[in-house]
Amino acid sequence: MIRVGFIFGFNNQWIGGINYYRSLFSAIMVLPERKIHPVIITSTHSDLLFLKDFPDIDIIRTKMLDKGSILSWIRIWIKKIFSDDLLIIRFLKKNHIDVLSHSNYIFHDSTIPTIGWIPDFQHKYLPEYFRDNDITSRDRAFKDICCYSSRVIFSSVTAKRDAERYYPEYSSRYEVLHFVPAPIDLAEIPDNGVLQKKYPVKEPYFFVPNQFWAHKNHIIILEALKILRSQNKVVNVLCSGDTHDYRKPKYFDSLIDTATKLGVADNFKVLGVIPYHELIGLMVNSVSVINPSLFEGWSTTVEETKSLGIPIILSDIPVHREQNPDKGIFFDPKDAESLADIMWNMITNNDNSERDSQIISANKRCIQQRFEFGKKYEKIILNFTNSKDS
């Protein structure tokens, strides 16, 4: 069995990343006769709740990843002297890690192959949403990943093409791996009545399960609601997601202020971070999901609607076109009138009579797509190991 290491330094707030890794590990662990085994390397203090869903995955904790610990300082000091992360390399070898995956750890020691992961180049397209030092650090990190990794994974063809433009000299290492969400256990989706008691649900409603980051473009929904309200058309929108954007800490408060000023606060309800199966339940019972984002690497929201066979209104950006949901309706993410028209048309023509059967069919397709996702990832790993001898 080939041991594939993942170094995790994030916390439970990185919901997009958690959903990505949940999908990846789900795809790996259900492979018949699988040849790879994930090993999570993390700090002694981390509490990544989603890993409890994968009891068969090895978790190794080390003080080297504890911020401020003596061992972490020694590691940083040695790295500066020798220009290589020697303690991490030694640790990986000691724990028999054959490949380090989805890593931004750069090693000049090539005895441990590394597979880098670059989700997207958002900072190149929307620099106004980043601090100058964030742009500089991303540019440096992405170039190093492309330069020193044995292979680099991109979540979309769009991101791979960007890398080919920015770092063409390393293009032979680039690989696209579209992730597929783990199939939903339909029996665990809460009943609509339960959701209505817990959340401020006013049917019919649209659902927006995106983080409240500035580029997610919630403002266009508020503008669409204002247009609809001026036409005496009442439309309700529920939103879930983390309300903190570290790049723009005041963004969420300004968004809520805008909702109040536009007179649509009663129709725009924010739920915050909610349990995953309740999120899926709200998606299933909505008229449609909306993803108005100005930029995506590979949208989890879009993939989840595809796995459920439910409608989605989504911004007309390259990655969304690449994801190409069957029940997708595209709109210009800067055109509130277009969005308002689409929302009202969906309200007036809302027919959920076949939704249950559509969800069952889509879920079955998702199971097959998850298998293909896992097999492709396994193939990438096997390219760097003596798989025939394992």
d(CA 210, CA 225): 18
Among the ranges given (7-16, 252-261, 283-292, 365-374), the one the predictor scored with the smallest mean pLDDT? 7-16
Work out the percent of the chain whose per-residue pLDDT is above 70: 97
CATH no. of 2-182+368-389: 3.40.50.2000
Among the ranges given (54-58, 95-99, 109-113), the one the predictor scored with the smallest mean pLDDT? 109-113
For the stretch 276-297, pLDDT in tens is 899 999 999 999 999 999 999 9
d(CA 173, CA 175): 7
Element (H, E) at 346: helix 336-348
For the stretch 49-81, pLDDT in tens is 788 888 899 999 999 999 889 999 999 999 889
- For residues 7 and 103, the answer to whether their CB atoms sit within 8 Å is yes
Look at domain 186-352 and name its CATH class: alpha beta
Is residue 102 left, alpha or beta, with left meaning phi > 0 and alpha meaning psi from -120 to 50?
A: left
| CATH 3.40.50.2000 domain extents, the chain | 2-182+368-389, 186-352
Higher pLDDT, 139 or 10: 139
pLDDT for position 387:
38
- Residue 290 has which token pair? 């909306």
d(CA 65, CA 243): 27
pLDDT for position 305:
95
d(CA 377, CA 36): 10
pLDDT for position 110:
66
Higher pLDDT, 295 or 107: 295
For the cut 60, the answer to whether the pLDDT of residue 273 exceeds it is yes
Torsion 160-166-168-169 (CA) sign: negative
The model carries a pTM of: 0.90
As a whole number, the mean pLDDT across the chain is 92
